[in-house]
Chains A and B, each alone.
Chain A
Amino acid sequence: MFDTDIYSVNVGPVHPSTHGGLHAEAIMNGEIIEDVIVHLGYVHRSVEKIAEGKTYQQYVPYTARLDYLATNLPVMGYCQTVEKLLGIEIPERAEYIRVIMAELSRIASHQIAVAATGIDLGATTGLMYAMRDRERIMDIFAMTGGQRLLSSYIRIGGVAADIPEGFIPAVNDIVNDIPKMMDEYNDLLTGNEIWGARMKGVGVLKAEDAIAYGVTGPNLRASGISYDLRKAEPYSIYDRFDFVVPTRNSGDSLARWQVRIEEIGESGRIIKQALDGMPEGEIKGKVPKNLKPEAGAEVYHHIESSKGELGYYIVSDGGAKPYRLHVRAPSFINLMVLPLISRGGVFQDIITNIATLDPILGESDR
């Protein structure tokens, strides 16, 4: 009786779903999504070209601006890549401090995922609770690196300075409160009927599709593949810690959401073990004043970032600046499945899918 038209509706790039400048063009057939065309590049800041003009040390703050919700993770990944290239040894104490800062960043990033998913789906209280909890971690970053959000506390060779007086009690407080935080998020949101109706069965990503499309991180683990680089290819000192990799099998938005909340708990366990085992000692290894890897040397190193596999590929020509630096951005590759999981759903599922894929546009567009 009524004909429906095929038309396109733009979600973004200026949109309150605060993932940055993501432009998803939805091709709609009435209420049903036929296809989603993703336009990226609104936050493309030519970060890879800038790397060719900066020394290895000068480039460290740029890596913090890649994944700005979990800043210590990309900085650690970059520093480890350069250390691998040059064969620099890191003292034990610095390794422990790095792991604590990295896991705090992972918790902060997942808390923003909770906050942003909350407000995208209309639950503003989720935003308020998660941001309140995240402020405690911001205080730790300000205490150590001097900066709330984009601290370059982790440096090539170790960390910038030793941990200050109030660090250990403050981190202990956060770690002890993590089960309470998780309970609050679960009570407020996960068990909520509306939450379940909007997330269960929405945006299903099958395991074989996830691997074929290169999806990594919590998105892959929510589809049943228990693959975490901290266990599969342990870097730093992660092989010393006892933790579980949360996995779910359904591959839908609710599964991705639950995996992230459980990862907050597991990160808390790692931090507790790191605090207990931290030795005394130096916080920076022997780093030559002029970092000049040998000509022709190249390295690809990847870490488990909060979004997935974050990799750095550096090629050196013997000079003080990289010849080529490429960032393997997990968000760029994870977003490739957005059309796949949205087809056949209704329009509001695009928002749910973007929120639970948890992309970060700074890293995706570089």
Chain B
Amino acid sequence: MTETDVKVLASELKSQYGDNLNINADRFFTKLLVDKVKLLDLMQLLHDKYGFNQLSNLTSVDYGEEFEMVYHLYSIPENIKICVKTRIPRNMPEADSLITIWPAADWQEREVYDLMGIRFNGHPNLIRVLLPDDFDGHPLRKDFVRKG
């Protein structure tokens, strides 16, 4: 698969997911912005059918009203890359866990829970990983205030 094939792949997915999927691209990545409810479905498809066997990066950004989950996927050894994003409302910060597809999501989702406060449905061990268990708050949120 080459860069042009990634665009072909993207348009195939667009016809499959319709309005639940938006595609754009910058100089670096083709980006798929998918609805939260279709995330697990899309990720399973990308892993099983299109061969993205490496979940390279999983992180989150606080945009005020919404959080954005960002995933960078790669295929080894061909090194094809794609970026998947989904938006989560601030008043209900939940997403589906990808641990059943890539075990690499395990600690990365725990870190997002720890620092950003997003819960992952289906994660077997969603506890803090970097901060003490009794820490109050989620520091990477923009409204976090340091105490003391």
Contact = CB atoms under 8 A, between A and B. Distances in A.
Q: Do chains A and B directly touch (beta carbons under 8 Å) in the complex? A: yes
Interface of A: 40-41, 44, 46, 48-49, 84, 211-214, 225-227, 232-233, 297-302, 309, 311, 313, 315, 323-324, 326, 328, 332-333, 335-336, 365-366
Interface in B47-62: 53-57, 59, 61-62
B132 interface: yes
A171 to B, nearest CB: 31
Contacts, number: 81
Nearest to B55: A214
Given A41-B132, A300-B29, A313-B70, A213 B57 contact: no
Contacts of A227: 76-77, 79
Contacts of A326: 57, 59
Interface string B14-45: 00000000000010110000000000000000
Contacts of B111: 332
A315 B77 CA distance: 28
B132 to A, nearest CB: 7
Nearest to B129: A40
A325 to B, nearest CB: 10
A298 B12 CA distance: 25
Interface in B85-137: 102-104, 106-108, 111, 115, 128-132
A233 B75 CA distance: 12
Nearest to A365: B130
A232 B104 contact: no
B104 A336 contact: yes
B130 A49 contact: no
A225 B76 contact: yes
Given A40-B130, A41-B130, A49-B139, A211 B62 contact: no
Contact of A46 (B55, B128, B139): B139
B83 interface: yes
A299 B28 contact: yes
A336 B55 CA distance: 14
- Chain A interface mostly: mixed
B98 to A, nearest CB: 11
Contacts of B28: 84, 299-301
B8 interface: no
16 contacts: A40-B129, A40-B130, A44-B130, A212-B103, A213-B104, A214-B55, A227-B76, A232-B77, A300-B72, A311-B56, A313-B57, A328-B56, A328-B57, A332-B108, A332-B111, A335-B107
A302 to B, nearest CB: 7
A313 B130 contact: no
B140 interface: yes
A332 B107 contact: yes
Contacts of A313: 57, 59, 70, 72
B13 to A, nearest CB: 20
Contacts of A214: 54-56, 102-104
B70 to A, nearest CB: 7
A52 to B, nearest CB: 9
Nearest to B70: A313
A335 B108 CA distance: 12
Contact of A333 (B26, B77, B108, B139): B108
3 nearest CB pairs, A to B: A214-B104, A41-B130, A232-B79
A35 to B, nearest CB: 12
A12 to B, nearest CB: 15
